[in-house]
Amino acid sequence: MERRPLRPPAFARYVAIGDSTSEGLDDPDGQGGYRGWANRLAERIAADQGGLLYANLAIRGRTTKQIGDEQLAPALAMRPDLVTVSGGTNDVLGRHFDAGVYASHLLAILEPLVASGATVTMFTLPDLRSVMPLARLLGTRVLDLNAAIRDCCARSGAILCDLARYEIASDPRLWSDDRLHANAAGHARIAEALAYFIGLHEDMSWSDPLPDRPRATAMDVAKAEWAWTRRHLLPWVWRHLQGKSSGDGVKPKRPELLPL
C-alpha cells in the first residue's frame, strides 16, 4: 500500500541510486548535464530545511542487479536518512525478463537500506503504451514489474509512490523525444509526487491532468512512429546487438555527499 509519514520529516543526507531516470535524462541542466527529479527533490528539501547533503550514484543503462552490485554499498556507507531508488526499465527492455528474479534483486537493495534506518522510496513505471505504441510488444512486462515493485515495497517497508495508478503519468507531453525518459515537465511532476509521498507537503497538483488537446490523425501518428524508430529505436537495437550500453564509461554525476 501507499504509505506516507504522519509528520513532515527532516533529512540531512539524501542519496539517489538507480538508472537513467535517477541520473536525470532527459531534463537538461543548461550546463551540458542533466538536472532530473532527484536534483529537483534535493533542491526542494534543501530550500525547505535550509540545507542538505546530496549524492547521486545513478548511471544510465544499469539493470537492477547492477544497481545493487555497484551502488548499494557506497550508498550505505554514506549513512543516508533518505534514499530514492529507480530500477526496472532496463530489466524490462532486456532480451529476457523474469519478474521473480527482478523482485529478488530489488529486495536485496530495499531491505538493507530500510534496515539501516533510512527513509526509502521508489515509484512504479507508467503504462507507456499511449506514449510509445511499440511498447505493446513488451506485453505484460511493465505490469509484472509494477506488481513486483508494489510487493517489494510492502515487504521491505519502503514507501511506494505508485505513479502508474495516476493517468497523468502516461501523458505523452511529459515524456521526451525518445519516449523512455521524462522531459523537464515530467521530472518536475515526479519530484513533487515523491515529495508528497515522503510527507514533505500535502499538495497533489502534480497529479492534475494537462489541458485537452486535439486528437492526432492516423498520418501524424505514423509519421511520429517512423521518426522515433529511425532516431531512437534502431540505434538502440544496434547498440545492444554490439553488446554495448548507454552507460559504458559513464560515472556518477554526484558520487559524494555535498551540500546544495
In a domain, 195, yes or no: yes
- For the chain, what is the domain count? 1
In a domain, 7, yes or no: no
> What confidence tens digit (pLDDT) does each residue in 55-96 have?
999 999 999 999 999 999 999 999 999 999 999 989 988 888
Residue 243's pLDDT is: 65
User: What mean pLDDT is reported for the chain?
Assistant: 87
Residue 1's pLDDT is: 43
Per-residue pLDDT band for 128 (boundaries 50, 70, 90) equals confident
Q: What percent of the chain has pLDDT above 90?
A: 63
More confident residue, 170 or 192: 192
**pLDDT at 112 exceeding the cut of 50:** yes
**pLDDT at 215 exceeding the cut of 80:** no
CA distance 242 to 222: 29
In a domain, 221, yes or no: yes
In a domain, 161, yes or no: yes
CATH assignment of the domain containing 173: 3.40.50.1110
Residue 66's pLDDT is: 97
Per-residue pLDDT band for 254 (boundaries 50, 70, 90) equals very high
In a domain, 145, yes or no: yes
* Cell numbers at 40, concatenated: 529537483
User: The pTM is what?
Assistant: 0.88
In a domain, 6, yes or no: no
> What confidence tens digit (pLDDT) does each residue in 141-170 have?
889 999 999 999 999 999 999 999 999 998
CA distance 122 to 138: 22
Torsion of CA 133, 163, 194, 98, to 10 degrees: -80
Structural domain containing residue 42: 13-208+217-259
Residue 44's pLDDT is: 95
In a domain, 2, yes or no: no
**Cis peptide leading into residue 151 (ω within 30°):** no
